[in-house]
Amino acid sequence: MLVHTPVMLQEVLSFLPPDSKLIVDCTLGHGWHTAALLTLAQNAHLIAFDIDELMMNKAKLLIEIRDNEQGTNIGTRIEYVRGNYADIVFVLHDRKADFILNDLGVNLEHFKAVERGFSIRGIAPLDMRFDTTQAKSAATLLATYSSDQLRHLFEHYADFSSAKALELAQHIVTTRKQKPIITTQDLKLILNTCWLGDKACTVIFQSIRIEVNGELDNLQKFLWAFLECLNSDWRCCIITYHSIEDRFVKQAFNALANTWKYKLVTKKAIKPHYKEVVLNRAARSAKIRVIEKLTNN
C-alpha cells in the first residue's frame, strides 16, 4: 500500500507537551503524525481534520491496521472531521486544545493518484481538488480566469518574472479560444511551447493547486482562528512547504509575540536534517514554526 512519510516527525514530537489532553491535527493525511502524537500523549484525545474524504478513509484504514497489529487503541481516541481546518473554531466550540499541528500542503498520494490531476506525469483530467465536492477545479480555473488573474498567479505563487508570467497567461488565454484545456497533458503542452521544462511545469501546477484549493486563504483564516482554540501554556506547530506560506506564519507569529500573550518557541524556522531530505524529498522545503500561548485573556 502506498504511504506518505511524515515530515520532521521527531521535531514535531519534541514540541508536544506529553500531558496534553486535547490535540488537534489539522491535516490528517495518512495519519502518521496523529498516530505518533497519540502514542506519546497517552491520555490525549485528538480531533483530526482532512478536507479530502479519500485521504481520511485511507488514514482510518491505516490506523485500524496499526491498532490490530500492535494491539493499541489509537483509533478510539480520534474524532475524525471531514472538513476544512479553517473552520476549527466551529468544530471545537468551547473546547480548547493543548497542542495544534498543521502540516500544510499535499500528501504524496495526491501526486501518485495520477487520475486526480495533481501531477505533471501521465494524462488525467485537470482536477486538483482536495475537496471533490467543490465546484472549482483546475480546468474551470484555466477556462475562466482572465489573463491578468493568471499572470498574478504565476508571478506571485510560482515566482516567475512579470514578463514570463504574462507570456504564459496570454498563451493560455489564446489557446483556450481554439480548444478547451481539460487534461494535464493539454496544460503541459502549452507550458512546453513556452519553453518550460518539467521543473518549471511542476511549479506552475503547484501554483494552480494552491489557488484551486484556496490554500493561502485557509491558512490566513486559521492564523486568526487557532488563537480562540488554544489553551494557555500550550502550543501551535505549523509545517510549511512554500515561501509564501512560511512568510504568512512568520509574520502572524511575530505579531503575536509582540503582545504579552504569546511567545515564540522557535525563534527561527526549523528545517529538516539533510539525512531526512535524502530519504524523503518531500521534506526538502519544509519549515517548522511553533508558538506558545501564555494566557487565555
Site residues (vs ligand SAM, CB under 6 A):
4, 6, 27, 29-33, 49-52, 55, 84-86, 103, 105, 107, 130, 218
CB 292, min distance to ligand SAM, A: 21
Minimum Å gap between C-beta 212 and ligand SAM is: 11
User: What distance in Å separates the CA atoms of residue 161 and residue 163, rounded to the nearest whole number?
Assistant: 5
User: Per DSSP, which regions of 11-53 are E strands?
Assistant: 22-25, 45-50
Nearer to ligand SAM, 36 or 264 (CB): 36
Cβ closer to ligand SAM: 86 or 165? 86
Is 242:106 a contact under the CB 8 Å cutoff? no
Identity of the residue, 189 or 279, whose beta carbon is nearer to ligand SAM in the bound complex: 279
Give the Cα-Cα-Cα angle 71, 67, 11 (nearest 5 degrees).
Answer: 110
Question: Radius of gyration (Cα) for the chain, nearest Å?
Answer: 20
Looking up cell 514540541, which residue turns up? 15
Q: Minimum Å distance from CB 276 to ligand SAM? A: 14
C-beta of 135 vs 259, nearer to ligand SAM:
135
Q: Which is nearer to ligand SAM, 134 or 193 (CB)?
A: 134
Q: How far is the CB of 161 from ligand SAM (least distance, A)?
A: 29
Structural element, H or E, at residue 232: strand 230-240
- Between 52 and 155, name the residue whose CB sits nearer to ligand SAM: 52
Alpha carbon 35 to chain centroid distance? 18
Q: How far is the CB of 295 from ligand SAM (least distance, A)?
A: 28
CB nearer ligand SAM, residue 52 or residue 186: 52
| Least separation in angstroms between CB 169 and ligand SAM | 26
- Residue length of the chain: 297
Quickly list DSSP for 96-147: -EEEEEEE-S--HHHHH-GGGS-SSSS--BS---SSTT-S--HHHHHHH--H
Helix axes 243-257, 215-229, angle to 10 degrees: 30
Dihedral sign of CA atoms 102, 272, 287, 21 in order: positive
For residue 264, the minimal CB distance to ligand SAM (Å) is 22
| Cβ-closest position to ligand SAM | 29
- 8 A C-beta contact, residue 289 and residue 266: yes
